[in-house]
Amino acid sequence: MTIPGNLLTTAMAVMPHTDADRALSTALSLDVPFWPQLPNLSYYEDMYVQAAEHFPGMVLDLEGRRLSFSMDKFALELEEALARFEDPEYFDVTPDYSAVYHKFLDMDLADRPAIRGQLEGPVSFGFNVKDENDRPIIFSDNVRPFMLEFMAKRVNIQLSKLKKKNENAFMFVDEPGLQFVFSALSGYDDTAARRDLDEFFSMIERPRGVHLCGNPDWDFLLNMDLDVLSLDVYSNGNLFIQYHKAISRFLDRGGRLVWGIVPTNVEPFEKEGAGSLADYLSGLWDELAAKGIDRDFLLSRSLLSPATCCLVNPDRERTVERAFALLRELSARLREKYRLE
């Protein structure tokens, strides 16, 4: 396993910046850097739009900032996409769709403990993108199998590029929509999601994992064939640790946990400091230790991150950058407390 632990720092990729270089500098301030996604800079940088590049049938309205899908357009463009299916470069993120990805790849990142990339996951993408009848494409038996393979190829080419820059590179598959799978109203249940995600991850190279800020059934995710799971423990920590048996199995299989702990929204951020967040996390770890999970083992397989990304603050990037700074301070405090290298 190449994903580090010992409470090193990383973060989610969506950032509020409109200055690409400033966003990249902020990302590089953490131990495990990543290439930022900047939807306030351009709609091309929206995480769903980036995932949709070259996907047949997509209708992109840049002015209205809307992404939709046309079944007729899908039928017309599918043959061309299939003709390029064995060309890995076809699935990579182009400069038009990211202001920083290629800058990131041009950097010397070999001395970092790891680096990270990301792509929107198929469940969230399939729920979010709707056809001309306002029906999510995840319900289409014609589109969904293609989508799974298409997204897997997109993850694999990005991971291969990142591994050339740092042999410990890994990928987050962002799946905010997974929490809706467990709603009786979704029409796409956890059995269908398990089937599709098992197939999806079977096509993806390692290391790979899932990030989400919501609150799904944690047993569902902890028992998937993942190498890393990133979550918002600031909001969901007390619930998450109730799944201690699944957490223990996940760690024993070699999994890593990314504890999203520093809030990035203005109001909760102003209420917290390194001391209060350290106490909260230590309390969660104490409870897991009381349930039989060795603390040293847990921390050796843990990273720290902000709790969520944030695009809604009135001060745009200011609080987010302060959260990154607080994350570094918190990591140093806890690493000293637990005597981690």
Q: Where are the domains of the chain?
A: 8-337
Query: What's the rounded Cα separation, in Å, for the pair 147 and 200?
Result: 9
At residue 184, the pLDDT reads: 61
DSSP 107: S
Give Cα separations from 125 to 99, 118, 178, 216 (angstroms): 21, 13, 10, 17
For 258-277, the pLDDT digits (tens) are: 999 999 999 999 999 999 99
Could you tell me the pTM of the whole model? Answer: 0.95
Q: Is the pLDDT of residue 325 over 80?
A: yes
pLDDT at 100 over 80: yes
Res 302 pLDDT > 70: yes
- What's the pLDDT band for 185 if we cut at 50, 70, 90? low
**pLDDT tens, 281-290?**
999 999 999 9
Task: State the maximum Cα–Cα separation within the chain, in Å, rounded to a whole number.
Answer: 60
Range 305-328 burial, b when 16+ CB lie within 10 A, else e = bbbbbbeebeebbebbbbbbebbb
Reported as a pLDDT band with limits 50, 70 and 90, residue 190 is confident
* The CATH number, out of the four listed (1.10.10, 3.20.20, 2.30.30, 3.40.720), of the domain defined by the range 8-337: 3.20.20
> Cα–Cα distance between 214 and 175 in angstroms, integer?
9
